[in-house]
Amino acid sequence: MGVYPKAIKNIIDDFERLPGIGPKSATRLAFYLINFPKDAIKRFADDLINLGGVKICKECFGVAENDTCDICSNISRNHKVICVVERSIDLLAIENIGEFKGIYHVLGGVVNPLNHVGPEDLKIQELIDRLSKGIEEIIIATNPTMEGEATALYIKKKIDESKLNIKISRIGSGLPIGADLEYADLATLSRALSGRKQYE
Amino acid sequence: MGVYPKAIKNIIDDFERLPGIGPKSATRLAFYLINFPKDAIKRFADDLINLGGVKICKECFGVAENDTCDICSNISRNHKVICVVERSIDLLAIENIGEFKGIYHVLGGVVNPLNHVGPEDLKIQELIDRLSKGIEEIIIATNPTMEGEATALYIKKKIDESKLNIKISRIGSGLPIGADLEYADLATLSRALSGRKQYE
């Protein structure tokens, strides 16, 4: 184009590198920021730099402020139940419900041969290593996608091989609350049927 | 929540302040940035700070790298035709077509009594002042909204009062290309009818 001042062009490029932000949104955001208060811009820039200070918890591999995250270092939580998730953001989604009182284990992704991600690229061995520390139950909460399911099955197999007496479960899947059977896809509907629960 | 490390919480807050980015997108962007290369993050932060260096062209009031923007200082453009737009981003939208060879005038908004924006808050007097410099034609390209139309009419009146012999036109409005009459709103359809063009 050549008509954008360089400072604006640069910030548009930065925004465009982010997921879900195309050229139009990036331009809109850049122009919005021009009229932003100077101190807010400064804070934004500082916050970006400070992101580099985010640590990975040495217990669960989730994001943390210190070497161990707030959840792993919280003795009032149930350290006998581990919920296994793909990414830190999934951990926070579950944490937002406010119902799970156990601890977590973040795999760092899922097995995905197409993207050259094998089990050895994930924190699976680290999970197995944690199991001998008095763990009684594992809830595998990888996403109900093909890769998530395969990863869940792989983890289940590994735990079975460890011969530890641990209860293993998979997070429930089926129709989301508020959904309409008419519009549900076949895979979800089939899973909802096979995963039916009897009234007690 | 309390489970997000502060560095992440801050960047989520920064993103949430931007238009069209809600809590979910902000969180996703923040977590995406954690895995961003350090130098790209640094560049992003620097670019934000550099935005403060964007200037406003003293001729057209659009964004500029220097005191006068590339368009106003380009002698190969037609300095007798001015296209009046609301904001710099609108200028760039027109510039993107690559067909308009005149110069621009950025009003900095539209008359909007509900938001306490009057004609004196816009660069309307500055536009009138420019007219005596050999301007032959004015194209008023404010948005076809109620405020944009009112502003356009106000500008037309002001130019008429100046008694200068200047051709004034309003950017065309009607059905957008690819639209369907069936789904067009009444105002657009009515404008498309009254703005019909005879075949030559």
> What proportion of chain A, given as a percentage, has pLDDT over 70?
98
Mean predicted confidence (pLDDT) in A136-156: 92
Distance CA A156, CA B16 (A): 39
* Maximal C-alpha separation, chain B: 69
Q: Average pLDDT for residues A154-178, to the nearest whole number?
A: 88
Model pLDDT for residues B160-198, shown as the tens digit of each residue = 998 888 999 888 888 788 878 778 888 888 888 877 777
Contacts of A84 (CB under 8 A, 6+ apart): A104, A105, A107, A127, A138, A139, A140, A141, A142, A155
Return the H-helix or E-strand segment holding B45: helix B38-50
- When the pLDDT of each residue in chain B is averaged and rounded to a whole number, the result is 89
Q: What is the complex's ipTM, to 2 decimals?
A: 0.74
The string of pLDDT tens digits covering residues A52-104 is: 888 899 999 999 988 999 999 999 999 999 999 999 989 988 888 888 899 99
- Return the closest-CA partner of residue B70 out of B105, B109, B103: B103
**Is B71 close to A44, i.e. CB distance below 8 A?**
no
Tokens representing residue B121 in the block: 């808050």
Task: State the average pLDDT over residues A96-120.
Answer: 91
Q: Residue B124 above 50 pLDDT?
A: yes
Tokens standing for residue B60: 């057209």
CATH number for the region A6-53 comes to 1.10.8.420
Q: Measure in Å the smallest separation between the Cα of A47 and chain B Cα atoms.
A: 6
pLDDT score for A36? 86
Per-residue confidence (pLDDT) for residue A95, from 0 to 100: 86
* Range in A124-138, A171-185, B16-30 with the lowest mean pLDDT: A171-185
Asked if residue B200 has pLDDT above 80, the reply is: no
Is 0.90 topped by the overall pTM?
A: no
What pLDDT, on a 0 to 100 scale, did the predictor assign at position B14? 93
CA atoms within 13 A on the CB side of B115: 9
Residue A49 has its nearest CB partner, among B30, B45, B52, at B45
Query: Which amino acid, residue A56?
Result: I
- Please indicate whether, in this complex, the C-beta atoms of A19 and B27 are within 8 angstroms of each other: no
* The pLDDT of residue A153 is above 80: yes
Are B52 and A38 in contact (CB < 8 Å)? Answer: yes
Task: Tell me, yes or no, if the two domains A6-53 and A73-170 fold the same way.
Answer: no
- Nearest-neighbour CA in chain B from A183: distance (Å): 24
Contact yes or no for A4 and B92 at CB 8 A: yes
The pLDDT tens digits for A176-186 are: 888 787 788 88
Nearest to B47 among A11, A65, A71 (CB): A11
B52 and A41 within 8 Å at the Cβ level: the answer is: yes
Q: What are the two backbone dihedrals, phi and then psi, of residue A81, each rounded to the nearest 5 degrees?
A: -120, 125
CATH of B74-170, one of 3.40.1360.10, 3.30.310.50, 3.40.50.1820, 3.40.50.300: 3.40.1360.10
Q: What are φ and ψ of residue A106, in 5° steps?
A: -100, 120
| pLDDT for residue B1 is more than 50 | no
State the smallest CA–CA distance between residue B109 and chain A in angstroms: 13
Q: Where are the domains of chain A?
A: 6-53, 73-170
Please answer yes or no on whether A92 and B1 come within 8 Å at the CB atom.
Answer: yes
CATH, range A73-170: 3.40.1360.10
How far apart CA A151 and CA A156 sit, in angstroms, is 9
A55 contacts in chain B (CB < 8 Å): 5
Q: pLDDT at residue A143 above 70?
A: yes
Q: Is the model's pLDDT at A2 over the cut of 60?
A: no
Give the residue-averaged pLDDT of B26-43. 90
